[in-house]
Structure 1
Amino acid sequence: MEPFVYTVNPSRVVFGSGTLKQLPRELQRLSLTSPLILCTPQQTSQANAVASLLRDASIAPAGLFEKATMHTPTNVTAEAQSQLASLAADSLISIGGGSTIGLGKALSIRTGLHHICIPTTYAGSEMTPILGETEDGRKTTRSDPKILPGTVIYDVDLTMTLPTGMSATSGVNAIAHAVEAAYAVNRNPITTLLAVEGIRALAESLPVIVKDTANREAREKALYGAWLCGACLGTVGMSLHHKLCHTLGGSFNLPHAQTHTIVLPHALAYNLPSLSEEVRLKLGRAFPGADGDAVKGLNELLEKLGVERSLKAYGLKEEDVERASEIAMEREYPNPRKLVKEEIREVIRRAWAGEPARADL
């Protein structure tokens, strides 16, 4: 076995059904009494339910900020920080998906306040010390142990009403973390185990959820898989897929989970020829019925989920493909295969057109 480095991220995870009720206890354990609750405009009802739960436990929230936005724009963070400065808040609670959790991370790293995450999707951001922020049309990322949320409460009940479309794309977004973790330059045996188990759990559960959104066993398995995939993202570096998605999301304002869903099989197909046989087999076997072929497994999974396969459906223009490839090539980053602009442009074009992924570049 080759030497490796594995970093254990020190976050506390509470997982199960009905675990939201443990939130007051978690605050009391930390001697926190005045949290600012964060959400998107679409999730104010859930944020208000959290506030009500806390008041019933004699904990008075400092306030509610309900403007969390996709890709964590710095101007929204500045507005939230201004509100935070006017309050006597001693902590942050984010309830929602990647947009809200991203805002919580941005505020936490700026203020040092303890951040409690309550995920309602399968995004996985809650398990990473990584923050992606958008300013002037460019999305950049940074990693710092202080960005990692201190506490994560996974409550399966909060995902039971997640629409099937968002369940599917959010779940594939989580799979993307594990796929790239499996071939990361700083991969290690522990992260690879988590990656394969996370992919398998989601690949098995997501098709069931699409057919039966109220299937509790599938929902539990999906949330478990998302947790593992998020943990992968938090311990190793990412490659081409995440770079492309940050480019497309930050510079062209494409929806986060949907973009990850569309790009993933194409990015994997590009890197596949440069992966070791061991990694190819581990990834391929994580997808049930794929005969050891991860690209085939992803193509078939997306077909089962009935998700949109083209970026043009979300507003990317054909003339944007060239610009996207230029941005994606501006800075070097680790990737299993050498990046060639003409080939990256073709990867983006195929994703734009909605073609099935194929490893022939």
Structure 2
Amino acid sequence: PLIAIPTTYAGSEMTPVVGITDRNEGRKRVRRDPAALPRLAIYDPEVTLDLSPQLTASTAMNALAHCVEACYATDASPEVRSVALDGTRHIVRSLPLCVARGDDLDAREDLMQGAYLAGLSIGNATMALHHGLCHVLGGRTGVAHGVLNAIMLPHVMRFNADAAPDAMSAIAEAMGAGARTRDADAAARETFALLESLPVPKRLRDAGVPAEVLEQVAGEAAESPTVKANPKPVSEADLLELLRAAW
């Protein structure tokens, strides 16, 4: 049986998802296979105590992206959304503490709980625009998945806000923006603010993504089944606009 002991915060150990990057072709292929889901996941916050602030932040932002996409997934059940929102609360509460003091074991444990809930939620929902775009970007540029998640997430949230107002309102509340705000952009603003506080690149160019690949990435992402599962229709022009805004 497969046993997982996670040492970062993405929550992938709770999903049946496998990602394989072909460096020669510059493509990242993602598949779902029940055989990839571990029989047992062991969470020990002590194994993350020496994780750098940069890796702590980038992998936890990947977990936050899992929660967000599970909330607005076209097939999200009320149970999945509830789990995702709970994961969001854990992540936004504990991530700044873990970055500020890496030896804070209670915060590390809380962040692990958030990552677990993030993986559990996205493992039972369909990924959409955010992950589809990050997969193409990562395959084409080699930039770490967590870093791309951190940079792109607030931009995608802003794009999807008008198509998923209830989900975005709930996410904003979970992030501390106040009780069920009617401002559809509040969740994106909270995520931008969180990103600014973290030791990760804030823009694609800061992560080493060259401007000349953006059009190619937009074209490839437009054909992605994951991108096509987004709750809001996405054109190649939309994708290029998103990438340029994040660059």
Q: Same fold (TM over 0.5)?
A: yes
In structure 2, distance between residues paired with 1:249 and 1:266? 17
Q: Which moved more, 1:209-218 or 1:151-160?
A: 209-218
Partner of 1:298: 191
Q: Deviations over 1:226-283 (max 9, x none)?
A: 00001112111000000011001112211111111101111111111111x3222111
Structure 1, unpaired ranges of 5+: 1-113, 353-361
Residue 238 of structure 1 aligns to a residue whose secondary structure is coil
Q: For residues 19-54 of structure 1, what are the alpha-carbon distances to aligned partners after superposition, in whole Å with 9 as ceiling and x for unaligned?
A: xxxxxxxxxxxxxxxxxxxxxxxxxxxxxxxxxxxx
More helix as a share of residues: 2
Q: Distance in 2 between matches of 1:212 and 1:181?
A: 29
Correspondence for 2:108 among 216, 219, 223? 219
Q: What is the match of residue 162 of structure 2? A: 273
1:283 pairs with 2:161: no
Partner-residue secondary structure (3-state), 1:198: helix
Write the letter of the residue equivalent to 1:338.
P
CA displacement at 1:304 relative to structure 2: 2.1
Asked if the contact 2:53–2:199 (Cα under 8 Å) also holds between the matched residues in 1, the reply is no
Aligned to 2:203: 310
Residues 132 and 224, structure 2, Cα contact 8 Å, conserved in 1: no
Deviations 1:151-187 (A, max 9, x none): 1111111011111111111111100001000010110
1:117 corresponds to which residue? 4
RMSD: 1.3
Distance across 1 between alignment mates of 2:236 and 2:96: 35
Contact kept? 2:201, 2:207, Cα under 8 Å: no
Q: Choose the corresponding residue for 2:223, options 330, 333, 353.
A: 330
Aligned residue in 2 for 1:255: 144
Aligned partners of 1:321 and 1:348 also within 8 Å: yes
Structure possessing the higher radius of gyration over alpha carbons? 1
State the distance in 1 between where 2:224 and 2:94 align: 37
Q: Distance in 2 between matches of 1:346 and 1:248?
A: 14
Structure 1 distance, partners of 2:26, 2:205, is 19
Q: State the Cα distance separating 1:138 from its structure 2 match.
A: 1.4
Structure with higher RCO (Cα < 8 A, 6+ apart): 2
Q: Which runs of 5+ in 2 are unaligned?
A: none
The Cα shift of 1:289 comes to 3.7
CA distance in 2, matches of 1:306, 1:251: 24
Distance 2:28 2:59 in 1: 20
Give the match for residue 81 of structure 2.
Answer: 192
Percent of aligned positions that are identical: 37
Q: Which AA in structure 2 matches 1:260?
A: N
Provide the rounded CA distance (Å) in 2 between the counterparts of 1:325 and 1:158. 38
Match of 1:85 in 2: none
Compute the TM-score of the two structures, normalised by the length of structure 1: 0.64
CA deviation profile, 1:47-86 (whole Å, cap 9, x unmatched): xxxxxxxxxxxxxxxxxxxxxxxxxxxxxxxxxxxxxxxx
Which residue number in structure 2 is paired with residue 97 of structure 1?
Answer: none
**Partner residue, 1:133:** 20
Q: Match of 1:272, as an amino acid?
A: A
1:345 pairs with 2:240: yes
Please give the alpha-carbon distance, in whole angstroms, between the structure 1 residues aligned to 2:167 and 2:28: 30
Q: Alignment partner of 2:153: what SS? A: helix
Asked whether the 8 Å contact 1:204–1:288 carries over to 2, the reply is no
Aligned residues: 238
- SS where residue 147 of structure 2 aligns? helix
C-alpha contact 1:174 1:229 (8 A) present in aligned 2: yes
Change in CA separation of 1:290 and 1:133 when aligned onto 2, cut-off 3 Å: farther
Q: CA deviation at 1:299?
A: 1.0
In the TM superposition, structure 1's runs of 4+ consecutive aligned residues that sit over 6 Å from their partners are none
Does residue 202 of the first structure (1) align with residue 91 of the second (2)?
Answer: yes
CA–CA distance in 2 between the matches of 1:243 and 1:173?
A: 13
Supply the AA of the counterpart residue of 2:163: S
SS in 2 for 1:310: coil
Q: How many angstroms does 1:134 deviate by?
A: 2.1
- 1:130 Cα deviation (Å)? 1.0
Once the two structures are superposed, the pairs formed by residues 84-95 of structure 1 within 5 Å of their partners are: none
More off after superposition, 155-164 vs 172-181: 155-164
